[in-house]
Amino acid sequence: MVRDTNPATLRAVSDPSTESPRAGRVTILGRPNVGKSTLLNALVGQTLAIATPRPGTTRSNLLGVHMRKDPPTQIAFVDTPGVGRAQTALHRVLVEQAEASVADVDAVVLLLSAPDCRGADLPPADQGAFALAMSTGRPIVLALNKVDRVKDKEQLLPLLDTVGKRPEFSAIVPISATKGTNLDALVSELRNFLPEGLAYDEDFLTDRPERYFVRELVREAAIRHTREEVPYGVAVLLDEYSTTGDRTHIEATVVVEKESHKKIVVGAGGSMIRTIGTEARKAIETFVGRKVVLKLWVKVVEGWTEDPRKVRELALGENE
Ligand code: GDP
């Protein structure tokens, strides 16, 4: 459950640990598909960010708070859209979002995909994210993700040896976000850069309202069932969101950018949109902890990913 609370609330420490409490903000930067959303979910202990095998799924910055008691630590992690080449208005807005995420951070996690690290330097595809991390002027912890997929761990030695010595990086930690490997080590490294004190109520989880997650869960279901260029142009708008008794009524429109995409999303005799609806409803019920009645429509907004105004409205939900 998502609870609103005042992030500025300072709490007394009940933990008898001798180490002083620390809290701060850390942004997770990396190119698309390195595992940023998966890492945020693993650190927060709940699925907040939709993580799919399709690159470019994350559209706006999402904050999730990692809390631990021993030693008392609160880290507000910000998952960002991947930093890659900006070809369309949608891409440009995604890069802007990642750039905005670095304001006021205490440290940065630069996430790489370990299976792609074969030499002694950062792979060329990660240079954009590295440049953004450097622009913050904050300590950078390099996390090599997906180590579970690296059979021959010696493959990583040249990178660990050379990059580990570079002054730009405060630490380098091999991790697996899906298996949870070494996440404690990553948090311990980041803790060193946080100011003293606690910043969040104990049940604070995220800065987003429930409606945001509902839209994202419908979008995730639509992405999972479509391929090629269809997922990139999917957006979701909530038309109705109300709770009576123990039931939440939701009406949402799945927006696509071409008539041909609409045919795919609707499917033969409406079969696909029914499948998407059933999957999304179950995910939303788990998330909100109530019964859900979900109605979905599909609408074409021709070429919306090329129009900056429509991108803000549809991808960031700015008019909601
Ligand atoms: P993002 O675009 O950087 O946010 O990447 P996602 O979190 O959406 O992850 C992209 C894909 O990589 C998904 O299919 C994840 O399941 C997968 N993935 C993420 N972390 C790991 C990991 O530690 N190990 C493996 N094997 N796969 C991972």
Burial class (CB in 10 A: 0-12, 13-18, 19+), 241: middle
pLDDT at 7 over 60: no
pLDDT at 148 over 80: yes
Residues 26/78, Cβ–Cβ less than 8 Å: yes
Please report the pLDDT score of residue 17 as a whole number. Answer: 53
Ligand 1, atom 13, residue with closest C-alpha: 53
Burial class (CB in 10 A: 0-12, 13-18, 19+), 115: middle
Averaged pLDDT for residues 177-183: 98
27, 29, 33, 126: which to mutate for ligand 1, most atoms within 8 A of CB? 33
Percent of the chain having pLDDT more than 90? Answer: 78
- For residue range 186-216, list pLDDT tens digits in order: 999 999 999 999 999 988 999 899 999 999 9
- For residue range 45-73, list pLDDT tens digits in order: 988 999 888 887 898 899 999 999 989 99
- For residue range 160-177, list pLDDT tens digits in order: 999 888 999 999 999 999
Please report the pLDDT score of residue 282 as a whole number. Answer: 97
What 3-state class would DSSP assign to 259?
helix
- Half-sphere exposure (Cβ direction) of 38: Cα atoms closer than 13 Å: 23
pLDDT at 15 over 80: no
Q: What are phi and psi of 209, to 5 degrees?
A: -80, 165
Mean pLDDT of the chain: 91
Averaged pLDDT for residues 117-146: 94
Averaged pLDDT for residues 309-318: 89
- The alpha carbon of 302 and the centre of ligand 1 are apart by a number of angstroms equal to 31
- Predicted TM-score (pTM) of the model is 0.88
Which of these ranges, 102-106, 272-276, 278-282, has the smallest mean pLDDT? 102-106
Ligand 1, atom 26, residue with closest C-alpha: 146
For the Cβ of 181 lying below 6 angstroms from any atom of ligand 1, the answer is: no
